[in-house]
Amino acid sequence: MNENFATKRLQRSETDRFLTGVCGGIAAYTGVDSTIIRIVFVVLALLGMAGIPIYVLAWLLMPAESERRSLLEQIIRNFQGKSSEN
């Protein structure tokens, strides 16, 4: 088994980004050009708007390269911390 594959994580790119780095992160993980990933999302968005919720979900679930936790996990942890203060 390739050692790089074993440690590879799906995460948002901080260098190959247009909006949030989702497509750049998917491209780095799969080895596909990020432009192709972006085109797929645009086509999905135009054909029934499926691309937009998938993109938003990926943005919430994929951590950034410099982060250990996803955005959704950070939001949940912040909410739990604030609700325990009350």
Q: What is the pLDDT of residues 25-49, one digit of tens each?
A: 999 999 999 999 999 999 999 988 7
Describe the crossing of helices 34-46 and 22-30 by its angle, rounded to 10 degrees: 120
The average confidence (pLDDT) of the chain is: 86
Domain membership flag for residue 79: yes
Instruction: Give pLDDT tens digits for 11-25.
Output: 999 999 889 999 999
Domain membership flag for residue 3: no
Domain membership flag for residue 35: yes
Domain membership flag for residue 73: yes
* Cβ contact 27:34 at 8 Å: yes
Domain membership flag for residue 17: yes
Q: Give the chain's domain count.
A: 1
Domain membership flag for residue 1: no
Kindly report the pTM of this predicted structure. 0.77
Cα-flanking dihedrals φ and ψ of residue 12, to 5°?
-70, 140
Domain membership flag for residue 58: yes
Domain membership flag for residue 43: yes
Residue 40: domain span: 8-85
